[in-house]
Amino acid sequence: MLRHLSLWGLLLLSFNACQQPEKGKVLADKYCSGCHLPVTPDMLDKKTWTDNVLPAMALRLGIKVWSGTKYYPPMKGDGASSISIEDWNTIVDYFKTNAPDKLPVAKHPVAWQHDWANFELKTPHFTDTTFKAATTLVSFYPSNGAILTSDGLNTLTKWDKQLNPIHTWQLPSPAVSAKYQIDTSDNSIHTILTEIGNLRALDAPAGIITSLNTDDTSSKQKDIMAFLKRPVATLTADFNKDGLNDLLVCAFGHNQGGLYQLQQQPDHSWKQLPIWEVPGAIHAEVGDFNNDGYPDIIALFAAGDEGIWLFENDKKNGFISKNLLRFPPLYGSTSFQLIDFNNDGKLDILYTAGDNADYSMVLKPYHGIYVYINQGNWKFEQAWHYPINGCTKAIAADFNGDGKIDIASIAFFADFKNLPSEKFLYFEGGKKSLDFTVHAIPIEKEGRWISMDVNDYDQDGDLDIVLGNYAAGFLILDQYKPDWKEYQPFIILENKSKK
C-alpha cells in the first residue's frame, strides 16, 4: 500500500512539474498580450531575462523590485499592481527555466563576396578632430550634388559636390530628417528639418519641425511646430485636399509619442491633429493606397506594440487604422519600404529589425532584413529573412541598372568583433526574385553607420549612397575597442554602373 502511495505521489509531482511551465506560459501570454505580441523564453538568454528585461517589466506591472532581481508586492499607498506577486513569480520561474544560456549565432544563407561590386569610395574634406563624429543626418540635396548633414553638436552643414563644407547653421537640437521643397518664387530650396530634441530616450517635449532656406547662407530657421516628443521623420501631403500642403510627423517619444498631422491653415499657420498617440512612430509612407483620391498613410511603430499600420483617410480630417503586420517587442523595428518585389502590381514590404539600445543589448539572430509579399487586400506573408545583427535601415532599388531589385543595408549594432563587414552590405539582385549575391563592401574601417540616403549624387544616371558615421557610444559588446575612423562624418559610395 505504501509503495502504491509513493508511486502516486511521484506521478503527481511529475504532473505538477510538467504543468508549471505551462501555467507560466499562460500567465506570460495573458499579461504581455495586453501591450504587445507575447514573447517566448528562447528569444533571449537567461541572464538578460533575469537581470534586465523581467525587472523592467515588473515595474510596468506594478511589482516592486529590490536589489535588481528580487520582487515584492506594492506597499500600502504605492498603488495596486495589475498582477499578483504569486503569478509574477510563476512567470519569472517560467522564463528562468526555459531560456537558453546563450542565443544561437545566426547562420547566413548566402556567403559574402568581399569586393567593391559597382561602387567606389569618396570621403569628405574635413579638419575638425575636436569631437568624434556623431552624424545624425545625411541627405543628398535634390540638385547640384550638394549634401546636408547634421550632428550631435546641433550643427547643420551643407557640403558641395567636391565634399567641401560650404556653410553651417547652428540648430536648437540635432536634425535627423530633411524634406525638400522648391520655392517657386525664386526656385530656392526650403528644407523642412526634423529636429529630434533629445537623442536619449526621454519624453521631454524638445523636438521641433522647422523650415530653413538652405540655399541662402543668411537664412534663419522658421519653426513650424515645437514641443514635440522626439520627432524623427516628417513627410508632406495635402491630406484634406484644400490645396495647401500638410505635414505628417513621426514622434518616436519614449513612453509617450505619436503620429501627427500638422494641418496647414489658410493663414499658413499650423494645427496639430493627432492620428495615433502611442510611442514608437519611426517611419511612414504616404500614398493613395485605396485609390479614392485622398492620401493615406502606412506607418511603422517601433516601441512596445511594434508593427506596421495602414491609416486610411476618412476625408473628414481623420483616419481609420488597420494593422498590417505585428512584431514582437524584442525585434527593435527600425525601418520599412514599400516596393513591388515580384512585379505583380502590388506593393510589398521591406522591413528591418535591429534597434538594440534597450534592456536586452545582446546580439539577436532574428535581427535583419525581412520581405513580406502582398497577397492582396493588404494581407502579407513573410517570404525572406536575411539575418544581420543590429540592422538599422535597408533601401531597395535597381542600383546596377540591370532591371532587378538590389538592397543596401546598414547595421548600427552589428557584431563588430566577429562580423564587422555587416555594418554595410549590398545585396545584388539575381535572376529570381529575392535571390541575391551579397557583397561585403570593404568599408568597415571607415566608420559606423547610423544613417543612409540614396540618390544620383553625381548625376550620371545611377544611384549613389551616402552613409553617416556615428562613431562613439552605444556599444553592446563588452571589452570591445572601436577600430573605425572616429572623426570622419560621412562617406559616399559612388556608383560606377553607368561609367
* 424 assigned to some structural domain: yes
Highest-pLDDT range among 30-39, 128-137, 332-341: 332-341
Same domain, 66 and 122: no
pLDDT, average across residues 388-410: 97
Which of these three, 39, 72, 98, is where a domain ends?
Answer: 98
Interatomic CA distance for residues 229 and 252, integer angstroms = 7
Same domain, 65 and 127: no
- What pLDDT does residue 209 have? 97
* 225 assigned to some structural domain: no
Interatomic CA distance for residues 425 and 423, integer angstroms = 7
Predicted confidence (pLDDT) per residue in 240-288, tens digit: 999 999 999 999 999 999 999 999 999 999 999 999 999 999 999 999 9
* 363 assigned to some structural domain: yes
How many domains, in total, are found in the chain?
2
Q: Is the pLDDT of residue 3 over 60?
A: no
- What pLDDT does residue 186 have? 79
Predicted confidence (pLDDT) per residue in 217-238, tens digit: 898 999 999 999 999 999 999 9
Query: Where residue 6 falls among pLDDT bands split at 50, 70, 90?
Result: very low
Kindly write down the DSSP assignment for every residue of 100-164, as one continuous string. Answer: -SSPPPPPPSSPEE-S-TTEEEE-------SS--BEEEEEE-SSTT-EEEEETTSEEEEE-TTS-
CA quadruple 140, 247, 168, 195: dihedral sign = negative
Which of these three, 98, 121, 143, is where a domain ends?
Answer: 98
- Which residues have a Cβ under 8 Å from the Cβ of 108 and sit 6 or more positions away? 386, 387, 438
DSSP symbol at 365: T
Name the nearest CA neighbour of 420 among 388, 452, 451: 388
* 480 assigned to some structural domain: yes
Which of these three, 98, 123, 147, is where a domain ends?
Answer: 98
Strand partners, 270: 264
Same domain, 85 and 121: no
* 406 assigned to some structural domain: yes
Instruction: Write the CA distances from 365 to 42, 207, 389, 390, integer angstroms.
Output: 11, 34, 7, 9
Strand partners, 178: 193
Same domain, 372 and 455: yes
Strand partners, 371: 350, 384
* 343 assigned to some structural domain: yes
Q: Are 179 and 232 in contact (CB under 8 A)?
A: no
- What pLDDT does residue 477 have? 58
Domain that holds residue 394: 111-132+327-498
Q: Is the pLDDT of residue 358 over 90?
A: no
- What pLDDT does residue 304 have? 84
Q: Is the pLDDT of residue 338 over 70?
A: yes
Q: Is the pLDDT of residue 370 over 90?
A: yes
- What pLDDT does residue 214 have? 93
* 181 assigned to some structural domain: no
Same domain, 400 and 445: yes
Same domain, 336 and 416: yes
Name the nearest CA neighbour of 318 among 270, 260, 361, 234: 260
pLDDT, average across residues 390-412: 97
* 182 assigned to some structural domain: no
Q: Phi/psi of residue 10, each to 5°?
A: -65, -40
Predicted confidence (pLDDT) per residue in 74-96, tens digit: 876 566 778 889 999 999 999 99
- Which residues have a Cβ under 8 Å from the Cβ of 35 and sit 6 or more positions away? 60, 304, 305, 329
Q: How many CB atoms lie within 10 A of CB 77?
A: 5
* Set of cell numbers at residue 216: 541662402
- What pLDDT does residue 2 have? 34
Predicted confidence (pLDDT) per residue in 105-147, tens digit: 988 877 899 999 999 999 999 987 888 999 999 999 987 889 9
CA quadruple 106, 391, 452, 372: dihedral sign = positive
Same domain, 485 and 464: yes
User: How high is the mean pLDDT of the chain?
Assistant: 90
